[in-house]
Amino acid sequence: MLKTRIIPCLDVRDGRVVKGVRFGDIRDAGDPVEASARYEAEGADEIVILDISATPRELAHGYEVVGAVRERLRLPLTVGGGVRTVEDARRLLESGADKVAVNTAAVREPELLEALAAEFGRQCVVLAVDARRCGTSWEVVVRSGADRTGRDAVEWAAEGERRGAGEVLLTSWDQDGTKAGYDIPLLESVCGRLRCPVIASGGAAEVDHFVDGARAGATALLAASIFHFQEVAIADLKSALADRGVPMRRGLQR
């Protein structure tokens, strides 16, 4: 059994960490370099950085933020936002990312996943899927939730894996920032279709939420605001999860 990872997510806009609810009501949450260093010290297993200004504004990613974070960070680093081409991904990897997350560009051009996997290997390719409930199913939304696509989220995740994604970062638009817990039916549906690891995202705030995410099949559990605003200590969370029978990684040993 894969041991479960705890992953803080840093949504970055104009060089600052921000956090909102359902991709809106954004508030400042600090400096990405300092936040990443703190999370590493607290026992996080990986860090995800998503440049939320890059895709909606058709901008390039803030490579300087990635480089500054890498100078302080030993943990694996996944970076997304504004990745439209193989060269965009290459620049992020050269700046210090270990994996590259793609979302909007992959929906528009699914062959991008194949090209990224061929160039860098599946282990470097993370498909970010933002899913919004639509009746009894879930629809893919893009551009930070601004655009609906008509694509079924479960089917798209499965297609993304076939095309080369080595991991899926699954975010529930409905649960994002609500602190009401992960969308468990969504997680179970996607995890039941995929062989690759799935990162649960959107809504986790309590130990029970993380336990539910792990039991639904996620091999990594992501959160943002509860870490940014120091509502939960990562070490305490991992200890509580281990006590509940969730096999945990130990983080970096100093």
Return the active site residues: 11, 130
The C-alpha angle 4, 8, 13, rounded to 5 degrees, equals 150
Which residues are registered as beta bridge partners of 100? 79, 125
* 209 vs 134: CA distance, rounded Å: 22
Nearest Cα residue to 9 out of 169, 121, 133: 169
Of 30, 11, 92, 50, the closest CA to residue 230 belongs to 30
Q: Which amino acid is at 156?
A: W
How far, in Å, are 40, 184, 237, 238 from residue 43 at the CA level? 5, 25, 10, 8
